[in-house]
């Protein structure tokens, strides 16, 4: 911690293009928050996909984000499950109340819904016709219409229920689905030597979750289908993600290069500077004329300074100013859609290009002023 404070309290040789802690904290109020990133409400490069890439490639903390997202998805699934159960209970209450209603007369209580087969319905209608044969035509017509309306209402309600089930945009979760989801999270992140074991999770929280699973009776699944058993672990993981969010802002808002790209450019820049300086010194000590031939040595020197500067700062000015892109993985890009991030990267790119042009101008003047001397 003392080293970190010393780093931020002392001027850095690249302070023109390197953000300080105070600068990042100030910009956090103007950029998407961690909650907006986790809820997929932000735009590239400050988005959930790039956040996962940074946690995976630079911080080795992608397991934390995987766990948080899995628990969050389980909570959404559980809310849908509880909503479905509540709806079923309400429907059962309505059906039971309708069954206990007292009919006005025996004949009025009989309808098409009380028959389980078409033959029973036909027999009932024949009995009604034989009984009411002596009744007036108007009464017979009314009873026939009532019977047809009852049958039609049953058919319409059945078809509406079927259409509503078919038009459901997502699968209705069951208790078995919830149990499978909770167990998958438990065996993937919590148990020792799991596939993605949360090594950052304190032993107290881990033991509490394991104890909750071990105390469940074999015939009881009321606790296993509720993701609240992971609630404290999720809150702790969220605190860890919040602490890493500042580093994510540094890598995605102030830089547009990945770590492999920076290493490649560092190696290419050093090699180009070696070639450029070797060529310049060879032209000087061999006293090659005319003098304009020394400009050929500035080509690898310029390329080397550009690669070296972009590697140290993690920023490619050409990609930002001319193409408006940011590198997600090596040689894979996405457009810079966040307005504030675009303005920050453009301003930093202009500053970095100014430093590069200044260094190249000084090197050009030095090599042009040195007279040739053949050894």
Q: Which residue would you say has higher pLDDT here, 317 or 168?
A: 317
Check pLDDT > 80 for residue 337.
Answer: yes
Asked whether the beta carbons of 254 and 47 are under 8 A apart, the reply is no
Q: Tens digit of pLDDT for each residue in 108-156? A: 444 444 444 455 555 545 555 544 444 444 444 444 433 443 333 433 3
Whether the link from the prior residue into 200 is cis, omega within 30° of 0, is no
| Residue of 108, 117, 118, 101 lying closest to 147 (CA atoms) | 108
Six-digit token pair at 50?
Answer: 């790039």
Distance CA 318, CA 353 (A): 9
| Residue of 4, 56, 67 lying closest to 251 (CA atoms) | 56
Q: Tens digit of pLDDT for each residue in 5-59? A: 433 444 443 344 456 666 666 677 789 999 999 999 999 999 999 999 999 999 9
Q: Tens digit of pLDDT for each residue in 238-261? A: 999 999 999 999 999 999 999 999
Number of other CB atoms surrounding residue 267 within 10 Å: 13
**pLDDT score for 253:** 93
Domains defined along the chain, listed by start: 12-88+162-254 (1.10.167.10), 256-375 (no CATH)
Overall average pLDDT of the 158-176 stretch: 52
Phi-psi region of 209 (alpha: psi -120 to 50; beta: other; left: phi over 0): alpha
- Lowest-confidence pick of 99-103, 136-140, 224-228, 338-342: 136-140
Six-digit token pair at 357?
Answer: 């042009």
> Which residues contact residue 72 at a Cβ distance below 8 angstroms, ignoring those fewer than 6 apart?
38, 234
Check pLDDT > 90 for residue 87.
Answer: no
Distance of CA 213 to the CA centre of its chain: 29
């Amino acid at each position: 911690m003392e080293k970190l404070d010393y780093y931020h309290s002392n001027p850095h040789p690249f302070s023109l293009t390197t953000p300080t802690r105070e600068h990042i904290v100030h910009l956090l109020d103007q950029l998407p928050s961690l909650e907006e990133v986790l809820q997929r409400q932000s735009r590239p490069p400050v988005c959930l996909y790039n956040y996962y890439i940074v946690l995976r490639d630079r911080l080795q903390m992608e397991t934390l984000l995987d766990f948080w997202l899995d628990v969050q998805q389980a909570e959404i699934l559980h809310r849908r499950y509880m909503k479905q159960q509540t709806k079923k209970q309400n429907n059962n209450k309505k059906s039971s109340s309708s069954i206990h209603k007292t009919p006005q007369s025996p004949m009025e209580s009989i309808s098409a819904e009380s028959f389980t087969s078409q033959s029973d319905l036909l027999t009932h209608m024949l009995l009604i016709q034989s009984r009411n044969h002596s009744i007036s035509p108007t009464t017979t017509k009314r009873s026939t219409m009532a019977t047809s309306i009852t049958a039609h209402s049953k058919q319409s309600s059945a078809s509406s229920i079927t259409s509503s089930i078919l038009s459901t945009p997502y699968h209705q979760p069951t208790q078995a689905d919830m149990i499978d989801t909770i167990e998958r999270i438990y065996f993937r992140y919590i148990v020792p030597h799991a596939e993605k074991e949360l090594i950052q999770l304190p032993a107290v929280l881990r033991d509490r979750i394991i104890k909750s699973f071990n105390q469940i009776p074999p015939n009881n699944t009321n606790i296993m289908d509720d993701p609240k058993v992971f609630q404290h672990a999720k809150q702790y993981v969220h605190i860890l993600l919040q602490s890493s969010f500042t580093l994510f802002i540094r890598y995605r808002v102030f830089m547009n290069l990945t770590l492999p790209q920076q290493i490649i450019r560092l190696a290419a820049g050093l090699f180009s500077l070696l070639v450029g300086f070797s060529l310049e010194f060879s032209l000087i000590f061999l006293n090659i004329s005319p003098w304009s031939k020394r400009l050929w040595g500035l080509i690898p020197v310029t390329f080397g300074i550009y690669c070296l500067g972009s590697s140290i700062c993690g920023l490619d000015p050409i990609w930002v100013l001319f193409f408006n892109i940011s590198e997600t993985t090596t040689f894979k890009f996405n457009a810079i859609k966040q307005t504030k991030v675009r303005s920050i990267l453009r301003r930093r790119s202009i500053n970095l290009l100014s430093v590069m042009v200044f260094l190249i101008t000084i090197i050009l003047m030095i090599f042009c002023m040195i007279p040739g001397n053949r050894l």
